[in-house]
């Protein structure tokens, strides 16, 4: 691998080449992430400087692709899940729901989930087979499912929008 790095190959090119020439499960077949980790895990010294210099961008620290910024689209006028009323947060009264979407490989399939916060009742929602499921179709499927529940059990709905802060309250 050091030879390939010296030839100015990227870790991705090295990993793909190894995958082509070595059989599955071979001990020298590694991912590009493993190559980067090996380079940046070296103790401070001449070898680490030499290996980093072979990389195309030659940063002393690994720079994430996103540079720490969430590159997904932001929801306009979003109200954070952390601002929901205390009665919802305390789980004392039923009727407050959390929704999420579970996507399959390559977004080829998806299932919606609704969880009631007090009882932890889970309902799975079969989504129409659009690839990928559009936001409008998912919203409609969630709404149809909730409208089948008695009105006192439909107090609020919080969707998880996947950015790690817990969701958006609607």
Residues 85 and 45 in one domain: no
Q: How high is the pLDDT of residue 51?
A: 83
Task: Kindly report, residue by residue over 76-134, the tens digit of the pLDDT.
Answer: 666 677 777 777 878 888 999 988 888 877 777 788 899 998 899 999 998 877 665 67
Residue 163 has pLDDT above 60, yes or no: no
Q: Is residue 71 part of a domain?
A: no
Q: Is residue 161 part of a domain?
A: yes
Q: Report the SS3 class of residue 2.
A: helix
Please give the tally of structural domains in the chain: 2
Q: Is residue 30 part of a domain?
A: yes
Nearest to 144 by CA among 119, 123, 166, 116: 123
Q: Is residue 74 part of a domain?
A: no
Sign of the CA dihedral 150, 156, 160, 161?
positive
Q: Is residue 85 part of a domain?
A: yes
Query: Contact, 123 vs 145, CB < 8 A?
Result: yes
Residues 90 and 148 in one domain: yes
Residues 85 and 163 in one domain: yes
Residues 164 and 87 in one domain: yes
Helix 32-40, helix 46-54: angle, nearest 10:
140
Predicted confidence band of residue 169 (pLDDT cuts 50, 70, 90): very low
Q: Is residue 68 part of a domain?
A: no
Q: How high is the pLDDT of residue 69?
A: 61
Residues 34 and 95 in one domain: no
Residues 95 and 142 in one domain: yes
Residue 170 has pLDDT above 50, yes or no: no
Domain, as residue range, for 47: 2-54
Q: d(Cα 73, Cα 116) in Å, to the nearest integer?
A: 27
Residues 150 and 97 in one domain: yes
Q: How high is the pLDDT of residue 114?
A: 92
Q: Is residue 67 part of a domain?
A: no
Q: How high is the pLDDT of residue 32?
A: 86
Residues 88 and 160 in one domain: yes
Max avg pLDDT among 3-7, 22-26, 31-35, 115-119: 115-119
Predicted confidence band of residue 63 (pLDDT cuts 50, 70, 90): low
Query: CA 30, 34, 40, 42: dihedral to nearest 10 degrees?
Result: -60
Least confident of 14-18, 94-98, 128-132, 143-147: 128-132
Nearest to 49 by CA among 39, 37, 57: 39
Buried b (16+ CB within 10 A) or exposed e, 16-40: eebeeeeeeeeeeebeeeebbeebe
Residues 35 and 91 in one domain: no
Q: Is residue 69 part of a domain?
A: no
Nearest to 162 by CA among 86, 102, 112, 115: 102
Residue 67 has pLDDT above 70, yes or no: no
Residue 4 has pLDDT above 50, yes or no: yes
Residues 86 and 165 in one domain: yes
Residues 39 and 86 in one domain: no
Residues 104 and 162 in one domain: yes
């Amino acid at each position: 691998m050091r030879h390939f790095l010296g030839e100015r190959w990227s870790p991705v090119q090295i990993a793909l080449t190894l995958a082509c020439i070595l059989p599955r499960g071979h001990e020298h077949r590694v991912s590009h992430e493993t190559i980067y980790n090996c380079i940046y895990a070296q103790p401070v010294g001449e070898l680490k400087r030499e290996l980093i210099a072979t990389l195309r961008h030659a940063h002393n620290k690994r720079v994430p692709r996103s540079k720490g910024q969430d590159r997904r689209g932001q929801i306009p006028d979003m109200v954070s899940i952390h601002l929901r009323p205390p009665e919802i947060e305390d789980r004392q009264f039923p009727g407050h729901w959390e929704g999420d979407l579970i996507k399959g490989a390559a977004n080829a399939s998806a299932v919606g989930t609704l969880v009631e916060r007090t009882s932890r009742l889970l309902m799975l929602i079969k989504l129409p087979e659009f690839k990928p499921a559009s936001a409008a179709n998912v919203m409609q499927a969630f709404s149809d499912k909730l409208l089948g529940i008695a009105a006192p059990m439909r107090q609020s709905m919080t969707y998880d929008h996947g950015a790690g802060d817990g969701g958006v309250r609607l």
